[in-house]
């Protein structure tokens, strides 16, 4: 090793010895040649350290990759002791390329690979394997509660706040923005399918919207939405599955945004403080969407997500003149479908995770996120009024569970009651006094007591 070290040191001094080597009419600059090769090797090494295998979907944890990158950079910096080169130039040329989906040579980058893995592997497993991976608001992580077939991955090792902070350091605001845009396109495709369901049941939903104070009429109309097809689930089940998927994606988005904000607060605290002040004090006008985009790119939480609005705006609609009505009926559909979750075995709330096993608590995020985006895009900005209408309908539908005699219909009734509380707590448009005006707080208190008691008994 000593001989090799000496040989390498001699080579380094040789590069310093001659600035330009003249070959016929050309000048060869050893230092520039060396720098170019260092850049190429460093660029390949960064992607190689991810150890990404598309066949088995194995990938290094962001924190492991970050430690590896730092170690590699320390070694490269030590070269400056032997060769008179600017190694910072190598870092400035290579690292920003990794924040884009493709580098200067058209090769896949860290940003591309991690975006693909999180959206197409991890979050797809959360959606397809209901009851195996749960989003836990208290732990700020996706947690594996039971292993599915062939699944040996612990989600919390990749999708908790610590790992996402490491990811934010690796790919920066540009990379996180790219990931957010891809994620929102997935949500937009789910919204498109939900709109088709709404249009198929438009007449029934229109009648339901004006009959929330008529229990008998509500019961009869709701049955139409709950009737399954021959070889397929009913429309209400399909709606709840799609809304839960959207909620899971938005939960991951919120976690990633928080991680980005934490990193930027460490790096550029004064700039983040200024962005936060502008975002807080700007009046709620059309121009506020520009400020929202600025705040969102810095990881700040926005009542109306500009990235989601941009993704929904790209949808080609056959009913452009009727979008506002469709958005209103969508929330009517969700409100009358929520009681169906009381029949599902996996709708049980796990107090230790502060979440339902089938991730139905993520409905709070999908309802509030979609309401803000849809009514800002298609309506006169009356999101708070439309959500109050949703709350009245959902409360009316859930209160009817108290009169059900079937055991199956009420086995997870208390866990589903808590959804209303989560929706209001998550919402920037609703308040607890509005909830109390249409749903007795005594029921919520008893539901919390029942759920936490059941969880303690399981332990």
Residue pLDDT, tens place only, 68-91: 999 999 989 988 888 888 889 999
288: confidence class by pLDDT, cuts 50, 70, 90: confident
Work out the mean pLDDT of the chain and round it to a whole number. 87
What pLDDT score does 202 carry? 87
pLDDT at 375 over 80: yes
Residue 211 pLDDT exceeds 80: no
pLDDT band for 405, please (50, 70, 90 cuts): low
320 band by pLDDT with thresholds 50, 70 and 90: low
What pLDDT sits at residue 47?
93
Q: Which of 163-167, 373-377, 381-385, 408-412 has the highest mean pLDDT?
A: 163-167
Highest mean pLDDT among 149-153, 189-193, 287-291, 339-343: 189-193
Is the model's pLDDT at 394 over the cut of 70? yes
Query: Which H helix or E strand runs over 214?
Result: none
**pLDDT for the residue numbered 459:** 53
* pLDDT, position 255: 96
Average pLDDT over residues 278-290: 79
* 150 has pLDDT over 60: no
- pLDDT, average across residues 123-128: 88
Confidence bin at 226 (pLDDT 50/70/90): confident
pLDDT of residue 163: 95
DSSP for 339-407? GGGGG-GGG-EETTTTEETTSGGGHHHHHHHHHHHHHHHHSSS-HHHHHHHHHHHHHHHHHGGGG---H
pLDDT for the residue numbered 149: 56
Give tens-digit pLDDT for 331-369: 999 998 998 888 888 888 888 888 988 999 999 999 999
pLDDT score recorded for residue 323 = 86
Of the two residues 13 and 110, the one the predictor is more confident about is 110
| N-terminal to C-terminal alpha carbon distance within the chain | 57
Average the pLDDT over 288-296 and give the result.
87
Q: What is the DSSP string of 235-301?
A: HHHHHHHHHHHHHHHHHHHHHHHHHHHHHHHHH-HHHHHHHHHHHHHS-SSTTHHHHHHHHHHTT--
Tell me how far the alpha carbon of residue 405 is from its chain's centroid.
39
Query: What pLDDT is stored for residue 343 in this prediction?
Result: 83
Contact 415, 350 (CB under 8 A): no
Strands 141-144 and 21-23: unpaired
Question: Pairing state of beta strands 349-350 and 141-144?
Answer: unpaired
Q: What are phi and psi of 23, to 5 degrees?
A: -125, 105
Is the pLDDT at 242 greater than 80? The verdict is yes
Out of 29-43, 138-152, 363-377, 408-422, which region has the weakest mean confidence (pLDDT)?
Answer: 138-152
Highest-pLDDT range among 1-5, 218-222, 267-271:
267-271
pLDDT tens sequence across 298-314:
999 988 899 999 999 88
- Confidence check: pLDDT of 206 > 90: no
3 state DSSP class of 142:
strand
How much is the pLDDT for 200?
Answer: 87
Interstrand relation of 26-28 and 21-23 (parallel, antiparallel or unpaired): antiparallel
Identify the pLDDT of residue 33: 85
Whether pLDDT at 437 is above 80: yes
pLDDT for the residue numbered 406: 67
pLDDT at position 407 is: 63
Range among 215-224, 228-237, 273-282 with highest mean pLDDT value: 273-282
144-153, 190-199, 226-235, 314-323, range with greatest mean pLDDT: 190-199
CA distance 52 to 39: 21
**Mean pLDDT confidence for 271-280:** 91
| More confident call, 282 vs 362 | 362
Quote the pLDDT of residue 377: 87
* Across 195-208, average pLDDT: 88
Residue 31 binned pLDDT confidence (cut-offs 50, 70, 90):
confident
pLDDT number for residue 396 = 85
Which residues contact residue 441 at a Cβ distance below 8 angstroms, ignoring those fewer than 6 apart?
Answer: 435
């Amino acid at each position: 090793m000593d001989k090799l070290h000496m040989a390498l040191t001699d080579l380094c001094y040789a590069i310093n010895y001659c600035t330009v080597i003249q070959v016929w009419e050309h000048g060869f600059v050893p230092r520039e040649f060396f720098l170019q090769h260092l850049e190429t090797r460093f660029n390949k090494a960064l992607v190689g350290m991810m150890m990404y295998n598309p066949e088995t979907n194995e990938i290094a944890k962001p924190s492991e990759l970050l430690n590896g990158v730092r170690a590699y950079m320390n070694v490269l910096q030590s070269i400056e002791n032997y060769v008179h080169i600017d190694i910072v130039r190598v870092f400035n040329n290579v690292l920003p390329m990794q924040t884009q989906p493709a580098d200067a040579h058209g090769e896949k980058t860290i940003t591309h690979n991690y975006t693909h893995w999180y959206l197409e592997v991890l979050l797809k497993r959360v959606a397809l394997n209901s009851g195996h991976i749960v989003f836990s608001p208290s732990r700020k992580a996706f947690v594996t509660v039971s292993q599915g077939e062939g699944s040996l991955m612990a989600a919390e090792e990749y999708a908790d706040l610590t790992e996402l902070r490491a990811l934010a350091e690796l790919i920066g605001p540009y990379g996180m923005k790219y990931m957010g845009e891809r994620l929102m396109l997935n949500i937009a495709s789910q919204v498109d399918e939900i709109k088709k369901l709404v249009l198929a049941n438009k007449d029934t939903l229109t009648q339901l919207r004006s009959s929330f104070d008529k229990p008998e009429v509500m019961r009869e109309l709701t049955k139409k939405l709950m009737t399954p097809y021959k070889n397929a689930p009913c429309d209400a089940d399909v709606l709840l599955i799609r809304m839960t998927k959207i909620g899971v994606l938005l939960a991951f988005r919120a976690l990633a945004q928080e991680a980005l904000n934490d990193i930027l607060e460490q790096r550029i605290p004064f700039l983040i403080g200024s962005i936060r002040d502008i975002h807080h004090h700007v009046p709620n006008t059309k121009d506020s969407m520009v400020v929202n985009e600025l705040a969102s790119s810095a990881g700040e939480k926005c009542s109306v997500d500009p990235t989601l609005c941009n993704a929904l705006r790209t949808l080609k609609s056959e009913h452009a003149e009727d979008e506002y009505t469709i958005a209103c009926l969508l929330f009517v559909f969700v409100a009358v479908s929520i009681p169906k979750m009381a029949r599902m075995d996996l709708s049980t709330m796990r107090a230790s995770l502060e979440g339902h096993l089938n991730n139905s608590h993520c409905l709070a995020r999908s309802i509030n996120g979609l309401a803000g985006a849809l009514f800002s895009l298609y309506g006169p900005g009356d999101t708070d009024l439309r959500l109050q209408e949703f709350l009245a309908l959902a409360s009316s539908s859930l209160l009817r569970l108290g009169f059900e005699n079937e055991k199956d219909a009420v086995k997870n009734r208390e866990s589903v009651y808590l959804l209303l509380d989560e929706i209001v707590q998550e919402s920037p448009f609703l308040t607890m006094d509005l909830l109390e005006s249409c749903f007795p707080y005594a029921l919520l208190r008893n539901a919390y007591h029942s759920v936490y008691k059941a969880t303690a008994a399981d332990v």
